[in-house]
Amino acid sequence: MIGPIFQRETAVLPRRPRHFASRVVFLVMVFAIISTTWLLLAGVQPVQNAGDLARFGVLIFQLIAPFQLFVLMFLGALAGVIAVSHEKDRQTLTLLLMTSLSNAEVVLGKVGSGLLLAFNALLSVAPILFLPCLLGGVSLEQAASAALITASTIVLTCSLGATIAFWREKTFQAIAVTLLSVAIWIAAGEAIRLGAVPGISPQVATVLSPLRAVWQVTQPIVGSKFGSPFGVWEHPIMSSLALLSAAALLMLLSILRLRVWNPNRERRKVSAEYSDQATENLEASTQGVSQAAGAGRTVKSWKSRDPRPMWSNPILWREMRTWAYGKKVLIIRVAYLILAACVAFGLFQIARSNQGSFADRGYEQQLVAPSVSILAPLMVFSLILINALAVNSVTNERDGGALDLLLVTEITSVDFIFGKIFGVLYVMKEMVLVPILLLFIPWFYGGLSTENLVFSIIAMLVMDIFVCMLGIHCGMIYYQSRAAIGTSLGTVFFLFLGVATCMLIMLMFRGSFGRQLAPFLMIILGGGTGLYLAIGSRNPSPAITLTSFLLPFLTFFAITSFILRDQELTVFSTVVVSYAFATAAMLIPALSEFEFAFGRGKMQQEE
């Protein structure tokens, strides 16, 4: 064992129902992808010999391995952050530091507790990862190499999340900085792979970027240097060693700086404002004091600053006029703007090289333009950050003990809900406005029509409000902060990852909506069930139940209409109406049953 913290987690984790639920859900999700792909393949072409099965095995392996990497990379980073931030929010980390536990026991215990959840999901899906080996076309070495790289990536992302959570005081800051670090890491790997970084060979990307390392492993022929003693294991071993070395350095940094970062040494600085009236009063009361003795004395006023006028909605005033989430939010904004500047540079390069035209493109390039492949990840990343701040805006109130005080004041549900929504959108204004401004680059160069530009802007605003309301809804119905954050971010992440996976499968097997519906029915029903369990089971309502099962179907319909082309109005109206209705389904119960929604989430088993 690596300490009592890890020992307690190993003893308590199997007693939680979600320990077994997470294993089953992830396993069923991957199996649904395999079943859907098989039904599409059997519907397009007959499977007659072993060669057809081998090609299907390669196709499945190339779908599952990157999907598993993305999910577990996100899960590991989030688990590392929550494992530490949960202690900070509950004010128990300081108590741990007052015990006889060493720095190594605290850090390794928290990192290990975060790894338990991620490795639990990895081990549950490992048999399916090796399943394509039975079909042919995929070797055992390839499957083992993909599992090794994924495991190393989990260790690194969990260590990164825990290190940043030990460093930062606010939960949102830790989550945002972790996600920004992972995004910059993946973007740097892609830039190296494309040769955009001078002086670094593109082959280095297969070592530093887990995405490129796994993609190289999934190829039918795994390349290796002639005479290498590792053979096909060369690149996986090198990549794993690099990732594990970085994880060891992060854990060492946390061990050395644990008691320097914690408890938080930042104190609110009292402004040195002096009042002339206070000075005159003091001089009048001390007439016997000599002028020479009092010449060098300075007198501070009894208050640090004058009171500021407050708005009629104090929740919105606090969100917009104070540093409610810490001043380090400025660092997150600057890092995001740097990432957006890189995306803007890429869009200009694509536009100037005339890649935005449809002249010399294949079907896939016409469907997903190079500018979209660069801009879409930034938009998704913006939505995840907005959702993270929204859920933390509620959980921070509860963990700080301020939520119970707010419920007994004259603040109404309208003040609280709309104050949080507009406050979060104001704090995240860069994440709201920058993706919209970047849409004008392809529009200016003719890659996007004016009609589609208006459609995209309205759809982005609807999605911003949806993810914001989803975060507030999860923060209200879940009593534990880690459950609320994990459910909210997991819903947004799986929503967009599911959309990307469905589009990738549809690109491989193009067809009409009627032919695509039956194979994707399992994914649609599974997504609806998962969405209902996440947002509707704690505070059920007919509207939330309807939107939980209707939203995956309408999303699938929008994807199919997008692939069939020349149906932009259909895609726009479907997306806007479905996600606006989902927002209203969560908003109306929150307004009408405000106190009930908060009380309902406090389950006995979560205490």
Task: List the structure tokens of 315.
Answer: 């929740």
Q: Which pLDDT does position 308 carry in this prediction?
A: 75
**Spatial CB neighbours of 119, under 8 Å, sequence gap ≥ 6:** 151, 154
For residues 240 and 323, membership in a common domain is answered with no
* Ramachandran assignment for 324, one of left (phi > 0), alpha (psi -120 to 50 degrees), beta (any other): alpha
Q: Which pLDDT does position 283 carry in this prediction?
A: 46
For residues 254 and 324, membership in a common domain is answered with no
What DSSP assignment string belongs to 433-476?
Answer: HHHHHHTHHHHHTTSS-HHHHHHHHHHHHHHHHHHHHHHHHHHH
For residues 46 and 138, membership in a common domain is answered with yes
* CB burial of residue 319 (10 Å; 0-12, 13-18, 19+): buried
For residues 188 and 327, membership in a common domain is answered with no
Flag residues of the chain having pLDDT under 70: 1, 42-47, 221-232, 264-306, 354-369, 508-518, 593-607
Find the helix packing angle between 140-167 and 171-193, rounded to 10°: 140
Instruction: Give dist(CA 567, CA 432) in Å, integer.
Output: 26
Q: Are 443 and 455 in contact, with CB atoms under 8 Å apart?
A: no
Domain-located, residue 309: no
Boundary residue ending a domain (238, 261, 284): 261
For residues 359 and 239, membership in a common domain is answered with no
**Spatial CB neighbours of 550, under 8 Å, sequence gap ≥ 6:** 528, 578
Q: Locate tokens 């007198």: which residue?
A: 299
Number of domains in the chain: 2
Domain-located, residue 456: yes
For residues 479 and 378, membership in a common domain is answered with yes
Instruction: Give dist(CA 177, CA 85) in Å, integer.
Output: 13
For residues 525 and 592, membership in a common domain is answered with yes
- CA distances to 89, 471, 480, 596 from 392, rounded to whole Å, are 11, 8, 12, 20
Helix (H) / strand (E) element for 504: namely helix 481-508
For residues 221 and 323, membership in a common domain is answered with no
Q: Which pLDDT does position 589 carry in this prediction?
A: 83
Boundary residue ending a domain (218, 240, 261): 261
For residues 84 and 202, membership in a common domain is answered with yes
Find the helix packing angle between 50-89 and 171-193, rounded to 10°: 150
Boundary residue ending a domain (235, 261, 287): 261
Domain-located, residue 267: no
For residues 318 and 239, membership in a common domain is answered with no
Provide the 8-state DSSP code for 479. S
Considering only CA atoms, which of 547, 574, 549 is closest in space to residue 559? 574
Q: Which pLDDT does position 208 carry in this prediction?
A: 87
Domain-located, residue 143: yes
Task: List the structure tokens of 298.
Answer: 């300075």
* Alpha-helix residue ranges (DSSP H) falling in 536-567: 542-564
Residue-range definition of the domain harbouring residue 210: 11-261
